[in-house]
Amino acid sequence: MSASDVLHRFGTWAFLRFVLALLTFLVLHLARLPFVLVARLLEAGMSRVDKSVVFAVSRHSRKEAS
């Protein structure tokens, strides 16, 4: 069913409601992208810090055991 078929069958207001819902969906998903990017960067940074801390602690505990 094409957009013109929907327009003829259900009317202009139904078509406008559909377009508004679609635009709202797109805007909300585009608005969340910066937050997702910040979360991914924080995850990567925390992972690197965790690896370096684990490496430092395990190296320190091996020296004490020897």
Walk along the chain (66 residues) and give the pLDDT tens digit of each residue: 788 888 899 999 998 998 999 999 999 999 999 999 999 999 999 999 999 999 988 887 776 665
Helical (H) or strand (E) element with 10: helix 3-10
Query: Dihedrals φ, ψ of 38, to 5°?
Result: -65, -40
pLDDT for position 11: 92
pLDDT for position 32: 98
Among 14, 31, 24, 59, which Cα is nearest to 1's? 14
pTM for this prediction: 0.60
Range of the domain at 53: 3-65
pLDDT for position 4: 86
Q: What is the count of structural domains for the chain?
A: 1
